[in-house]
Amino acid sequence: MKLLTKTALFFLTIALFVLFMGGIVFYFSFRYMMKHEVKRELITEMHEVILHPARYNIIGIDSLVFDLPVHYQILPIKDIHNPKFVFSDTLLLDNIMGRYQAYRMISYETNLGGKFVRITISKSLLVSDELVEYVVFVTLALSLILLLFIIGFNNYFFSRIWGNFFKTIDIIKDYSISDAEGITFTESEITEFNQLNQVFEKMHGRIKQDYQNLKEFIENISHEIQNPLAIIKSRVDLLQQNENIDKSQAELIQSIQGSAIRLSNLNKSLILLSKIDNNQFPEREDVDILENINFHLENFEDIIQAKKISLDKNYRNPLVVRADSNLISIMLLNLLKNSIYHNLPSGTIELMTESKSLTIKNSGKKLDIDQEDLFKRFTKSSNRPDSLGLGLAIVKKICDYYNFTIQYTCQDNFHIITITFI
């Protein structure tokens, strides 16, 4: 979730909670105030009736004087049982509206004109309820406007204050250590953002220096190792041409030559992995996958015929990817070599391409290693002890470098590797 969304939801949740709880408190407080005001008016009306009964035509004791929105009712009683003001809520029929309306009522028993009477005054709550509803509606409308204002202000504030921060994020996101140019951050009005930019600039300097040192180390060690290996190979070739060596010496020389070749291949593979880790293949071009496959298959033709491997090409779609041509060639070379050398005599290899994927399916013995370790470095089968165990690790590293997806499955003694290109 983005920071803006998270912040907006946080403030919105708090605002809704405060407005909801405040609205409830305000509603009931306002209703209480209105009822209290009606109660005060009823008491005033009752005192007017008691002190000035002539104004209310009390001559007819059983009469009901109707004066909206107040009802006056004076009924005779035999005796006074409760000489106090009694308040209650009731419903009375409104002849004009044709329905029952809520009223607040006050009752009082007293001696009026020499007779015991119960005076009842009822005041309509319709106006009060309408006022409450109107105030609540206005309050909700203002609250909604306030929420919209908060959201709009938060977006404006966020984009204005955090704009330079997101520019910094974009620079870091697109940053590549292999770029010759340095990184430059925009000056901000916020001190903390400037401090963050300064930290990134210092970190960039240290990483750039470490990268250059590592790159030089890899180049130097590659050069320094290859030279002695080349000398060993040439000297071994000279020894093999010597006619005075016996069989045991020849076997030792051959063993030395095999170890030198193995060490040379190991050095090249590890250097390649390091170069990929250090992003030393920034160049990209359109690479034809089918053209590369056919090229490597021609080089493996003698081995394929010697093992009597059946080759089935099912090229359904042309397949072109943007990448470094050398890396793609190395990836395909390792996959094809793996499918050939680990195949069975008179086995099968099936190649299939879709618009975005390549599938290599070959027969072979069951894996004697965990499937999870298949793409790890120096993982090799007991059937091939001479293998370096780096071929599939290099393939996986190249796929990760270009965000390709590689999957391995095994069905009916067939090993299937599928690469999905972006």
Query: What would the pLDDT profile of 140-185 be if each residue is shown by its tens digit?
Result: 787 788 778 877 777 777 777 777 777 778 777 777 666 656 677 7
Report the half-sphere exposure of 214 (CA within 13 A, side-chain side).
Answer: 16
Residue 22 contacts by C-beta under 8 Å, 6 or more apart in sequence? none
Strands (E), 134-249: none
| pLDDT band at 390; cut points 50, 70, 90 | confident
Q: What is the mean pLDDT of residues 251-268?
A: 73
Gap between the Cα atoms of 389 and 412, Å rounded? 24
Q: Are 353 and 290 in contact (CB under 8 A)?
A: yes
Residue at token pair 């029929």: 93
Better-predicted residue by pLDDT, 192 or 60: 192
pLDDT at 282 over 70: yes
Residue 192 contacts by C-beta under 8 Å, 6 or more apart in sequence? none
| pLDDT band at 379; cut points 50, 70, 90 | low
Q: How many residues does the chain have?
A: 422
Identify which of 85-99, 171-185, 235-249, 391-405 has the greatest average pLDDT.
Answer: 391-405
> 404 burial class (0-12, 13-18, 19+ CB within 10 angstroms)?
buried
The H or E element that residue 314 is part of is: strand 310-315
Structural tokens at position 419 = 């690469």
What per-residue confidence (pLDDT) applies to 67? Answer: 45
| pLDDT band at 101; cut points 50, 70, 90 | confident
Q: What is the mean pLDDT of residues 84-111?
A: 75
Residue at token pair 């309306």: 101
Give domain 285-420's CATH architecture: 2-Layer Sandwich (3.30)
Q: What is the DSSP string of 85-142?
A: -EEEEEEEEETTTTEEEEEEEEEEEEEETTEEEEEEEEEE-HHHHHHHHHHHHHHHHH
Q: What is the mean pLDDT of residues 283-309?
A: 88
Identify which of 133-142, 158-167, 190-199 has the greatest average pLDDT.
Answer: 190-199
Minimal CA–CA distance to 168: which of 190, 191, 192, 185?
185
CA triple 327-328-329, angle to 5 deg = 90
Residue 14 contacts by C-beta under 8 Å, 6 or more apart in sequence? none
Share of the chain above pLDDT 70, in %: 82
What per-residue confidence (pLDDT) applies to 65? Answer: 43
pLDDT at 98 over 50: yes
Residue 413 contacts by C-beta under 8 Å, 6 or more apart in sequence? 363, 364, 365, 366
| pLDDT band at 63; cut points 50, 70, 90 | very low
CA triple 228-229-231, angle to 5 deg = 65
pLDDT, the chain, mean: 76
Query: Which pTM value belongs to this model?
Result: 0.49
Bridge partners of 269, per DSSP, are none
Q: What is the mean pLDDT of residues 329-350?
A: 88
Structural tokens at position 18 = 């405060």
